Amino acid sequence: MKMYIIIKDDTPDKLVPVITAHASLACYKKYENNLDMQKWMNGIFKKVVCLANEIEFKKLKEELNFVTLTESSLDNNEVCLAFCPREAYPKRFKFLKMWTPQNI
């Protein structure tokens, strides 16, 4: 079981830790009664943070059971998706790049 958190690739690095923390909590609050979420919370609760460009981000919004986060300091633009934990994800998730600081 894992929760995927997807960050848009143009999001400033300095905002990513706070956005991902908010995303995890927002996803939990939205799906706290979901059986997969409850199983995840009672386990190791793994999280995977990945990057997506604009096209990938839009395609991921076609999936089910996620929350979208906006960032007020970026004109309330959408910056993150957090997916309710599950055992298996569609193949497209395997091809996403793991997030690492981009502005080194």
**Per-10-residue mean pLDDT, the chain, length 104:** 97 96 98 97 95 97 97 96 97 95 74
Q: Which fold has domain 2-98?
A: Bit1 (3.40.1490)
- Report the relative pairing of strands 97-98 and 46-52 from DSSP bridges: antiparallel
pLDDT on residue 104: 61
pLDDT on residue 2: 96
Q: Give the Cα separation of 9 and 3 in Å (integer).
A: 19
Half-sphere exposure of residue 37: CA atoms within 13 angstroms, side-chain side: 16
Tell me the pTM: 0.95
Q: Which tokens is 36 given?
A: 């997969």
pLDDT on residue 90: 95
- Which residues are paired to 97 by β-bridges? 51
